């Protein structure tokens, strides 16, 4: 990829401040950038690098004020992070090697159907009555069970496993090691202390534009469906249990766990290593901090942190009090000695 700074600005609906004719051919971090590259500044703590970076151009917020002269050209936009993401997306398209056709050896049941321009990688397996929409890509070593439906433009990276009867929408992206539709963790205690497995007869439904990170597992429902709604983004190493429903455009960070039958609202943000108890509900636009434990329903929008969770402002006050605890204990001990 080689574009002028002005061409990049046009792509991002930005305005050039400086020499727009110089060429850039790669994307780099502002603190490591070299001549001929383009970087971005979204986090204020990296502002100092504006004055030392060797990048040829930097994507910045439209109202950024400089305190001294700099060498790179600036591309001023409303949202530098989103603009740089868009540029990365375009760069990825330019650099990508388009995969097409059916590689061998692979297995495709006679009753399965694939649309136009579908790619099937080597050692992929398509079971009975599988349907795959046009333009989807199934990379090597993927397993697609019987009666699975996959929409258009969806990507399953190497080693994804999709159990029978699951449904995946259009333009989804599943990274390596993802398992969709494995049995939920359902066991009935017996009088003799053993456990009897409860049959898990449901499926998983992923709606359009869902991204699932590497080695994440989404269990099938005991009955009915585990549902991941449109636009949900799930990080690596997340566990989503049976009969969970996740609302539109919710984001879940790495190592979070959601127990069975929990209902998560729309535009919720769940931090890494958070744990959510089963059979509860979380309202729309709630933010749950990392390593938080959620044992009860959250009915209203807000930011919640801690184990068990509390309002984030209360959590900060408690944290300050905990830091003072050794001092307070010492003062009480001294007072007891005087009494």
User: How high is the pLDDT of residue 183?
Assistant: 95
State yes or no: pLDDT of 272 exceeds 90: yes
Mean pLDDT of 252-280: 98
Residues 6 or more apart whose Cβ sits within 8 Å of residue 83: 12, 14, 40, 59, 75, 77
Residues annotated as catalytic are: 242
CATH 3.30.9.10 fits 3-95, yes or no: no
Instruction: Of 285, 322, 286, give the one whose Cα is nearest residue 304.
Output: 286
Assigned token pair, 9 = 């600005």
Please write the tens of the pLDDT for every residue from 34-87. 999 999 999 999 999 999 999 999 999 999 999 999 999 999 999 999 999 999
Planar angle of CA 29, 35, 40, nearest 5 degrees? 30
Percent over 90 (pLDDT), the chain: 87
Whether 150 and 170 have beta carbons less than 8 Å apart is answered as no
Contact 168, 186 (CB under 8 A): no
pLDDT at 212: 98
Fold classified for 160-308:
UDP N-Acetylglucosamine Acyltransferase; domain 1 (2.160.10)
How far is C-alpha 136 from the chain's CA centre?
A: 20
User: For a pLDDT cut of 70, what percent of the chain falls above it?
Assistant: 99
- pLDDT of 89: 87
Parse the chain into domains and list their residue ranges. Answer: 3-95, 160-308
Contacts of 211 (CB under 8 A, 6+ apart): 172, 173, 174, 232, 233, 234
Tens digits of per-residue pLDDT, 303-334? 999 999 999 989 888 888 888 889 888 888 88
Which residues, listed in sequence order, are joined to residue 188 by a DSSP beta bridge?
A: 196
Please write the tens of the pLDDT for every residue from 71-130.
Answer: 999 999 999 999 999 998 888 777 766 788 999 999 999 999 999 999 999 999 999 999
pTM: 0.85
**Which residue would you say has higher pLDDT here, 322 or 302?**
302
The CA-based angle 130-134-135, given to 5 degrees, is: 115
The whole-number pLDDT of residue 96 equals: 66
Which pLDDT value is given to residue 93?
A: 76
Q: Which of 125, 131, 134 is nearest to 171 (CA)?
A: 134
């Amino acid at each position: 990829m080689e574009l002028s700074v002005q061409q990049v600005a046009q792509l991002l609906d930005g305005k050039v401040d400086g020499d727009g004719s110089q060429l850039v051919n790669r994307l780099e971090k502002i603190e490591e950038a070299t001549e001929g590259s383009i970087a971005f500044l979204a986090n204020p703590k990296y502002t100092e690098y504006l004055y030392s970076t060797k990048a040829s151009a930097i994507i910045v917020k439209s109202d950024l004020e400089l305190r001294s002269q700099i060498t790179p050209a600036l591309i001023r936009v409303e949202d530098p992070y989103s603009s740089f993401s868009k540029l990365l997306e375009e760069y990825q398209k330019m650099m990508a090697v388009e995969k097409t056709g059916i590689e061998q050896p692979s297995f495709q049941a006679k009753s399965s159907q694939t649309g136009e321009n579908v790619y099937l990688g080597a050692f992929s397996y398509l079971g009975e009555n599988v349907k795959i929409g046009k333009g989807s890509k199934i990379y090597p070593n993927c397993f697609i069970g019987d009666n699975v439906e996959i929409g258009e433009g969806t990507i399953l990276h190497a080693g994804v496993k999709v159990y029978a009867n699951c449904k995946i929408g259009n333009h989804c992206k599943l990274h390596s090691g993802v398992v969709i539709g494995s049995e939920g963790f359902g066991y009935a205690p017996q009088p003799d202390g053993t456990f009897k497995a409860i049959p898990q007869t449901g499926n998983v439904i992923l709606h359009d534009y869902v991204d699932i990170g590497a080695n994440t597992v989404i269990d099938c429902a005991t009955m009915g469906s585990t549902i991941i709604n449109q636009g949900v983004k799930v990080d690596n190493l997340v566990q989503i249990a049976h009969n969970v429903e996740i609302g539109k455009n919710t984001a879940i960070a790495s190592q979070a766990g959601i127990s069975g039958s929990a209902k998560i609202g729309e535009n919720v943000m769940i931090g890494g290593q958070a744990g959510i108890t089963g059979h509860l509900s979380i309202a729309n636009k709630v933010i749950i901090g990392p390593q938080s434990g959620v044992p009860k329903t959250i009915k209203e929008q807000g930011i919640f942190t801690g184990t068990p969770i509390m309002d984030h402002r209360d959590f900060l006050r408690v944290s300050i009090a905990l830091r003072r605890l050794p001092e307070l204990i010492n003062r009480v001990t001294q007072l007891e000695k005087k009494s």
